[in-house]
A and B are shown apart, each in its own frame.
Chain A
């Protein structure tokens, strides 16, 4: 395989290591044997393209999925999805999930003693437009305790899952909020060792997008792996 283009690893410090002992769950679940090199074949150079049929109109408005309004601070979360050359990634599927304003997930394994909100599921999805732009309306999630160590609390965050151009652009990450004092204490946040890379997971308050007397807004631009030379700009993307 020496003569073939190889799938390259990430720039040091910009991605978490699989074994990060402060995140206790990584200890028994991270590989220990060497990872092997993979050539960049058609399998690695292409990826799934999703259609608008997948998305329902209310899917990007997490406040409008039930008969009443969810409790909490109404916000917009918006931004652009870009590739490594700064070009917009069009038609990127974004899936989000989050806790409610009290820091509780609508999930059977979440046993945190905080109330569920009958008007909030906490799931959304959308496709980016021709400019790579996306927007969700939701409520600001609350921080919540977890079992990683004594008195461990997750900073407020929204989970993001993205499909860009090609399967190697696949990304699952978490968006954080500016000024949250729990971030420096959080092993998941700290698993990205490069500070500049880590801080790019923190959204910024966006008063231009905020709606007076209605909702604040946070901007979160996301750079996905991939460049212009990857051959997937076909079909309906």
Chain B
């Protein structure tokens, strides 16, 4: 196949260390909007590298598919939120409480969000999912069941208070988060 003759998607390049210049505005605006929003959950955690060192220049984007995909008055859909890590690798994301959806063959998926991970050092973003540990449907979720049992926990956020969860993203190492081909 000739790459010149086909429309191959453009190649990815790292966000680098300075992405906040261009991308933080959305974090700031959403934080204002979400101060009073109901029906949302908070996910807090850290992004860590191979050595367990915090990644202070990572960005996470959460996508909750559903009926709220279109923009609201401020131009940002409820199902999308962006968060960035601080100097200690900590992030806080307020996202819509995810709902489940069905596969084409009728099986139900447990509530989950897709998470995109960007950072200096990542030439291409990573794709993962986050599930919530207190959802009963997790036990029958086809994607979770396709993950080796010993690694499923990396996709599950732990309850940490009222409408609040903890979830770390480990880029490499023994507790490496499950990432997906894309």
Q: Is the C-beta of A44 less than 8 angstroms from some C-beta in chain B?
A: yes
Q: Is the C-beta of A223 less than 8 angstroms from some C-beta in chain B?
A: yes
Q: Is the C-beta of A139 less than 8 angstroms from some C-beta in chain B?
A: no
The contact of B120 among A25, A37, A48, A97, by CB within 8 Å, is A25
Question: Measured between alpha carbons, how far is A105 from B9 in the docked complex, in Å?
Answer: 28
Q: Are A42 and B15 in contact (CB under 8 A)?
A: no
Given contacts A54-B75, A197-B3, contact A188 B50 (CB under 8 A): no
Q: Are A31 and B172 in contact (CB under 8 A)?
A: yes
Q: Which residue of A lies closest to B14 (CB)?
A: A188
Number of interface residues of B (CB under 8 A): 79
Q: Are B101 and A197 in contact (CB under 8 A)?
A: no
Q: Are A31 and B176 in contact (CB under 8 A)?
A: yes
Residues of A within 8 A of B70 (CB): 49, 51, 234-236
Q: Are A84 and B7 in contact (CB under 8 A)?
A: yes
Q: Are B143 and A1 in contact (CB under 8 A)?
A: yes
Shortest Cβ distance from B106 into chain A, in angstroms? 11
Shortest Cβ distance from B107 into chain A, in angstroms? 9
Q: Which residue of A lies closest to B58 (CB)?
A: A29
Q: Is the C-beta of B39 less than 8 angstroms from some C-beta in chain A?
A: no
Interface segment, one of A16-24, A66-74, A177-185, A205-213: A16-24
Q: Is the C-beta of B32 less than 8 angstroms from some C-beta in chain A?
A: no
Contact mask for chain B residues 86-106; partner A; CB cutoff 8 A; 1 contact, 0 none = 000000000000000111110
Shortest Cβ distance from A79 into chain B, in angstroms? 11
Interface residues of B in 23-52 (CB under 8 A from A): 23, 25-26, 49-51
Q: Are B9 and A52 in contact (CB under 8 A)?
A: no
Given contacts A159-B19, A235-B69, contact A173 B172 (CB under 8 A): no
Interface residues of B (CB under 8 A from A): 1, 3-4, 7-23, 25-26, 49-51, 53, 55, 57, 61, 63, 65-66, 69-77, 79-80, 101-105, 109, 112-114, 116, 118-127, 129, 142-143, 146-147, 151, 171-173, 176-182
Q: Given A31-B172, A82-B7, output 5 extra A-B contacts at Cβ < 8 Å.
A: A43-B113, A47-B69, A110-B18, A161-B19, A172-B118
